[in-house]
Amino acid sequence: MSEPFRHLHRVSYAECTVGDHIYHSRYLDLLEAARGEFLRSLGVTVRSFQDADFIFPVIEARMRYRFPARYDDLLTIEVRPTLVERVRLNFGHRILNQDGKLILEAETFHACTSREEKPKRMPEAFVAQLKSLMET
């Protein structure tokens, strides 16, 4: 497989609990931000897809927490496509801290739909671009 896309994020105080670790649901926000930057690195944006009547709602998410991320940690969020079909798009994610410690492993499963939430095939060029990132 090709190298994953990597997005850096510094943990803010607002993301943490009193116990000084990221609140569990905040990881979904981090994954979303990283996927947005991944798309930007491909030359498209979430907004450009929306303007062309394509959205990618999450239909399932799985997360496995390995180690707590804490205030001021510098996280590397890795993103890679794991499945690309006509109307399905799945991503694998890993979050590591500045010491390379694995914080979280996650998968998100998306459907491609119109803004009216009707299934819609992804543009062929986008499918080809994503599939090329899944190959060696």
Segment (H or E) for 106: strand 102-111
Query: How long a stretch of residues is the chain?
Result: 136
Q: What CA–CA distance (Å, rounded) separates 132 from 129?
A: 5
Q: Token digits for 75?
A: 């996280």
Segment (H or E) for 134: helix 124-134
Residue 1 is predicted with a pLDDT of 56
- CA neighbor of 20 nearest in space, from 69, 76, 65, 64: 69
Residue 135 is predicted with a pLDDT of 58
User: Architecture of domain 5-134 in CATH?
Assistant: Roll (3.10)
Q: What CA–CA distance (Å, rounded) separates 66 from 102?
A: 6
pLDDT per residue as tens, the chain (136 positions) = 579 999 999 999 999 999 999 999 999 999 999 999 999 999 999 999 999 999 999 999 999 999 999 999 999 999 999 999 999 999 999 999 999 999 999 999 999 999 999 999 999 999 999 999 985 4
Question: Could you give the C-alpha distances from 1 to 41, 65, 124, 132, 134, in angstroms and in order?
Answer: 18, 24, 21, 10, 6
